[in-house]
Amino acid sequence: MTEQRGKLLASKPAAQAAKDAFASEYAAGRDDLSIGLGVNSKGDDWAVMVFATTPTAAQSLPDHYGDYDVEVRVTGRAKAY
């Protein structure tokens, strides 16, 4: 577990750069997508996390970007209460 954590910490700058490039390419000027960085579903590498307001907003996104998985979740619009 400690070895895996070290690997993730060491690779975070590259993953952050990929996330930023993805956001620039796919989300610039759009208010229906939010982009973040998270751990993939296996827990062994970084993933670009995309939160889309509708399935239509998510449909043209790739499932990988460079060396990273792209994980998309359709969340709907956020509401303040």
Task: Kindly report, residue by residue over 17-34, the tens digit of the pLDDT.
Answer: 999 999 999 999 999 999
The pLDDT of residue 1: 59
The backbone torsions φ and ψ at residue 19, rounded to the nearest 5 degrees and listed phi first, read: -60, -45
Rg (alpha carbons) of the chain, rounded to whole number: 14
Q: Which CATH fold would you assign to the domain 2-74?
A: GMP Synthetase; Chain A, domain 3 (3.30.300)
* Portion of the chain with pLDDT greater than 70, in percent: 98
Assess whether pLDDT exceeds 70 at residue 75: yes
Give yes or no for a contact between 33 and 51, defined as CB atoms under 8 angstroms apart.
yes
Domains of the chain, residue spans: 2-74
Residue 47: how many other CB atoms lie within 10 Å: 22
Assess whether pLDDT exceeds 70 at residue 12: yes
Candidate from 22-26, 36-40, 41-45, 47-51 with smallest mean pLDDT: 41-45
* Portion of the chain with pLDDT greater than 90, in percent: 75
pTM of the model: 0.86
